[in-house]
Amino acid sequence: MAEAKATWGVVVVAAGRGTRMGTPESKQYLLLRDKPILVHTLETFQAMDEIAEIALVVGRPDIERCEAFADAYGLHKISSVLEGGGERQHSVRRGLTALGGEVNWVMVHDGVRPFVAPEAVRRCMAKAMATEAAVLAVPVKDTIKQVNEDGVITATPERRSLWAIQTPQAFRRSLLERGLRKAEEDRFVGTDDAMAVERLGVPVSVAEGDYTNIKITTPDDLPYAEFLLASRSRERGTDV
């Protein structure tokens, strides 16, 4: 029997408080050129024809203002704004549940990665559809050292085998749901979404991303984010 048409949904995770930013406001709501970081992120997926639906997962106090963002910025693909869970994977699972039944492929994306390029997103989608699961990543540039608790180097991994993992991470929806259910049953908490699928014994492939797909985490990231936004505006011949 032929496989059903691919219908893509995105779970955007933006429930964290971001204490490393050191600001009273959560990092995803800080402004880049008079627009919240989160809105920049959402607009990327809003503009992609391949994306049918977005589930936005945020902190409970932020649900109302995010619903207002959807109206104010024309983000009509946001089908639900819902409260996150205690851990990232719990938030992702809630987002998956909120997506419509016709969605059979999903991506999970950090709300504070506003510079992911649509071309990179499409590479990740294509790799996932060929292999069931894929993540965006970039080769590590620096030499990495493994260090013990005393601060002594214990190993130097081969750099050619090391990749820095980004989002989005893309999966057949049923596969990610199965992985997250198993993780919950086992009381396992991973640091990214792919780990839940890896634990099932399913290989996860890498699609090469871009070094500009930064996660805005600390105050040092903000000037670079402003620079990236200005560069993107110049390339497009627009004034953001």
Q: pTM for this one? A: 0.92
Q: What is the pLDDT of residues 176-212, one digit of tens each?
A: 999 999 999 999 999 999 999 999 999 999 999 999 9
Length of the chain: 240
The boundaries of the domain holding residue 18 are: 8-135+164-227
Instruction: Judge whether 121 lies within some domain.
Output: yes
The reply to whether 199 falls in a domain is yes
In a domain, residue 192? The reply is yes
pLDDT(220) > 50: yes
Taking only the tens place, the pLDDT of each residue in 117-166 is 999 999 999 999 999 999 999 999 999 999 999 999 999 999 999 999 99
Burial 177-187 (b: 16+ CB within 10 A, else e): bbbbeebeeee
- Tell me, yes or no, whether 238 lies in a domain: no
Residue 148 is assigned to a structural domain of this protein: no
Q: Please indicate, yes or no, if residue 3 is contained in any of the structural domains.
A: no
The total domain count for the chain is 1
| Each residue's pLDDT tens digit, 46-56 | 999 999 999 99
Q: Is residue 39 part of a domain?
A: yes
Residue 92 sits in a domain of what CATH number? 3.90.550.10
Q: Is residue 150 part of a domain?
A: no
Helix pair angle (63-72, 37-46), 10° resolution: 50
